């Protein structure tokens, strides 16, 4: 008997097969919908899935010492970061020669942050790394490991070569810990530098890399818990780099935060000339200014105090509460500060105190509430008043570059919010709060 073709002879068979196929389609779609990660945030060319959103919430928004963030606030923060990332892409971030170096640093910082969050959650806020090494059964003596590594390097130099990455430097979960398990966490440059170190600095470097290995293992537990999408996490790292890049491009930070140049703008000469007359008083040297300042323990406290002062808070009372020592309570009381060369004071900044230079620079730029400023120890917060300038005659040609810089910064400051709003509209964001997983960490 030959079956070269299948002939369906009755309408009943046709209906049965049609229903069967339809059921298969429904089941297939249901399985795909169940197994595929549902987005919490979607936008024109990407998404943040359930697992990634829960991961981000745990790593960046679950610090018990800080305020609680609602899902809506986290969504808005993510949206802002995504938008900044797209702006940076349009300005050529991914073609920038420093991009991949900064991306790697950001990736490493995120893994460490995730690990620290896990340790705080599971051990307590006052955990120490020794506890973490014990929990994850990582046992390696840095001095002994360094001796083994140094011996391997010497043998390699005499062509009695044991491949250094394959040497055993300790144990992890009662299994051999090989240097090859740590090596992938180092950049090529770090690895080359590590092998060239003398014994003493090699011990310190090994301790650092062993800690990085610990963070990597802990991070794997966080990943197993939340199941984030790796491609989405790479995008998150990209957005963090983009924030630094855009901050410099739009003149909000100096180029030390990311090695790139501010955007350049061209203005008609008449516009620059008019701007000079609008701001020329700011080019007059400071004669005197009344200052009040204090030094605080960290940037979080400094930002809080700075905001309160701007809102009318009393810096003296705030200094009594937060200053790092009594001296910086006294400095919170009003005092007159003379400009360079005024009333016998030195004419050059190098001859003035660091804090004086910062305050005079703020006064020169009309900043009555300058942003918190890091010192060698602590964070400086200040407020200025009764600013008086020297009476001098100044001409535009002497200050044309400063005028253009000032107008550029002013224009970029107003341009950034517009560019952000335009990009938000372009990306068509959607927020699916119902898809958010409960945040539980074991």
- pLDDT recorded at residue 68: 80
User: Per the domain annotation, does 317 fall within a domain?
Assistant: yes
Give the CA distances from residue 155 to residues 150, 162, 190, 220, in Å, rounded to whole numbers and listed in that order: 9, 7, 21, 35
What SS3 state is found at 330?
Answer: helix
Give the CATH number for residue 353. Answer: 3.10.50.40
CA distance 422 to 416: 10
| pLDDT of 4 | 45
**Where is pLDDT greater, at 263 or 37?**
263
Same domain for 255 and 338?
no
Q: In angstroms, rounded to a whole number, what is the distance separating the alpha carbons of residues 301 and 378? A: 10
In angstroms, rounded to a whole number, what is the distance separating the alpha carbons of residues 442 and 58?
12
Report if residue 35 sits inside a domain. Answer: no
- For 157-178, give the DSSP string: HTT----GGGSEEEEETTEEEE
Question: pLDDT per residue over 108-120, tens digit each?
Answer: 999 999 999 999 9
pLDDT at 157: 60
135 and 233 in one domain? yes
The answer as to whether 383 is a domain residue is yes
- Per-residue pLDDT band at 122 (split at 50, 70, 90): very high
Structure letter (DSSP) for residue 292: E
- Pair (190, 228) in one structural domain: yes
- Beta-ladder partners of 430: 42
pLDDT in tens, 193-252: 999 999 999 999 999 999 999 999 999 999 999 999 999 999 999 999 999 999 999 998
Task: Give CA–CA dist 202/191, Å, rounded.
Answer: 11
180 belongs to a structural domain: yes
Output DSSP code: residue 285: P
Strand 286-296 to 168-172 pairing: unpaired
- Identify any residues that bridge with 42 across adjacent strands, giving them in sequence order: 47, 430
Burial class (CB in 10 A: 0-12, 13-18, 19+), 2: exposed
CA distance 25 to 11: 21
Say whether pTM exceeds 0.85: no
DSSP secondary structure, 78-139, as one string: HHHHHHHHHHHHHTTGGGSTTHHHHHHHHHHHHHHHHHHHHHHHHT-TT--HHHHHHHTTEE
Residue ending a domain, choose from 363, 391, 419: 391
**What does the alpha-carbon distance between residue 381 and residue 305 come to, in Å, rounded to a whole number?**
8
Quick one: average pLDDT of 100-105?
Answer: 96
pLDDT tens digits, one per residue of 354-371: 999 999 999 998 999 999
Residue 52, C-beta contacts closer than 8 angstroms, at least 6 positions apart: 37, 40, 226, 228, 229, 232, 233, 236
Q: Are 305 and 381 in contact (CB under 8 A)?
A: yes
Q: Is 293 helix (H, G, I), strand (E, B) or coil?
A: strand
Residue 3 lies in a domain: no
Could you tell me if 291 and 409 lie in one domain? no
312 shares its domain with 405: no
Claim to verify: residue 92 and residue 147 sit in the same structural domain: yes
**Do both 136 and 164 map to the same domain?**
yes
Rounded to an integer, what distance in angstroms lies between the CA atom of residue 168 and that of residue 156? 16
Q: Assess whether 156 and 221 both reside in one domain.
A: yes
Q: What is the mean pLDDT of residues 381-388?
A: 97
Q: Is residue 62 part of a domain?
A: yes
Residue 323 half-sphere exposure, CB side, CA atoms within 13 Å? 19
- Among 374, 391, 408, the domain-final residue is 391
Quick: pLDDT tens for 16-27: 655 555 555 555
pLDDT digits (tens, 9 = 90+) for 14-68: 566 555 555 555 554 444 343 446 899 999 989 999 999 999 999 999 876 666 8
pLDDT bin (cut points 50, 70, 90) of residue 5 is very low
pLDDT at 63: 76
pLDDT for 6 equals 43
pLDDT at 88 over 70: yes
Q: How far apart are the C-alpha atoms of 373 and 390, rounded to whole Å?
A: 26
Does residue 160 carry a pLDDT above 70?
no
Q: What is the pLDDT of residue 178?
A: 94
Query: Is 377 within the bounds of a domain?
Result: yes
Distance CA 293, CA 329 (A): 8
Q: Whats the size of the chain, residue-wise?
A: 442
Residues 6 or more apart in contact with residue 295 via CB below 8 angstroms: 323, 324, 325, 328, 331, 375, 377, 378, 379, 380, 381
**Is residue 425 predicted with pLDDT exceeding 50?**
yes
Gap between the Cα atoms of 16 and 22, Å rounded: 10
The sheet carrying 39-43 orders its strands as: 46-49, 39-43, 430-431
Can you name the residues that pair with 335 across neighbouring β-strands? Answer: 291
Give the residue numbers spanning the domain of 332: 285-391
385-390 mean pLDDT: 95
- pLDDT-derived band at 172, boundaries 50, 70, 90: very high
What percentage of the chain exceeds 90 in pLDDT?
77
Half-sphere exposure of 350 (CA within 13 A, CB side): 0
Residues 95 and 201 in one domain: yes
Q: ∠ CA(258), CA(261), CA(264), 5° rounding?
A: 150
Q: Judge if 382 and 409 occupy the same domain.
A: no
Neighbours of 296 (CB within 10 A): 24
Question: Is 207 within a domain?
Answer: yes
- Counting the structural domains of the chain, the total is 2
pLDDT digits (tens, 9 = 90+) for 393-410: 899 999 999 999 999 999
Query: Is there a single domain that holds both residue 169 and residue 290?
Result: no
Q: Are residues 432 and 299 in the same domain?
A: no
C-alpha 405/C-alpha 272 separation (Å) is 10
* Parallel/antiparallel/unpaired status of strands 168-172 and 175-178: antiparallel
């Amino acid at each position: 008997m030959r079956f070269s073709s299948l002939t369906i002879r009755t309408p009943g068979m046709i209906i049965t097969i049609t229903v069967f196929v339809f059921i298969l389609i429904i089941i297939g779609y249901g399985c795909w919908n169940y197994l595929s990660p549902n987005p919490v945030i979607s936008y024109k060319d990407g998404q943040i899935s359930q697992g990634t959103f829960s991961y981000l919430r745990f790593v960046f928004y679950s610090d018990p010492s800080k305020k609680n963030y609602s899902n809506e606030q986290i969504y808005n923060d993510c949206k802002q970061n995504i938008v900044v990332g797209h702006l940076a892409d349009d300005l050529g971030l991914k073609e920038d020669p420093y991009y991949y170096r900064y991306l790697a640093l950001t990736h490493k910082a995120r893994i460490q942050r995730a690990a620290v969050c896990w340790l705080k959650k599971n051990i307590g806020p006052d955990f120490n790394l020794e506890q973490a090494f014990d929990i994850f059964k990582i046992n390696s003596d840095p001095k002994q490991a360094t001796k083994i590594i140094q011996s391997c390097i010497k043998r390699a130099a005499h062509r009695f070569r044991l491949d250094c990455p394959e040497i055993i430097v300790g144990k992890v979960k009662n299994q051999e810990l090989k240097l090859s398990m740590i090596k992938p966490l180092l950049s090529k440059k770090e690895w080359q530098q590590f092998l060239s170190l003398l014994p003493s600095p090699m011990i310190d470097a090994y301790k650092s890399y062993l800690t990085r290995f610990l963070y990597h293992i802990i991070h794997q537990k966080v990943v197993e818990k939340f199941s984030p999408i790796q491609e989405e996490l790479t995008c998150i790292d990209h957005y963090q780099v983009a924030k630094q890049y855009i901050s410099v491009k739009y003149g909000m930070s100096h180029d030390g935060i990311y090695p790139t140049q501010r955007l350049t703008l061209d203005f008609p000469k008449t516009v620059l000339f008019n701007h000079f007359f609008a701001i020329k008083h700011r080019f007059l040297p400071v004669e005197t200014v009344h200052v009040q300042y204090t030094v605080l323990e960290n940037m979080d406290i400094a930002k809080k105090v700075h905001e309160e002062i701007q809102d009318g808070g009393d810096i003296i009372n705030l200094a009594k509460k937060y200053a790092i020592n009594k001296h910086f309570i006294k400095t919170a009381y009003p005092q007159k500060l003379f400009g360079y060369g005024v009333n016998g004071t030195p004419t050059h900044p190098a001859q003035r105190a660091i804090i004086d230079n910062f305050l005079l620079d703020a006064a020169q730029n009309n900043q009555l509430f300058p942003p918190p400023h890091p010192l060698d120890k602590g964070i400086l917060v200040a407020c200025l008043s009764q600013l008086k300038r020297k009476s001098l005659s100044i001409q535009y040609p002497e200050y044309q570059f400063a005028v253009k810089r000032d107008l550029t910064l002013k224009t970029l400051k107003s341009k950034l919010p517009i560019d952000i709003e335009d990009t938000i509209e372009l990306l068509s964001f959607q927020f699916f709060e119902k898809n958010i997983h409960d945040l539980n960490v074991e």
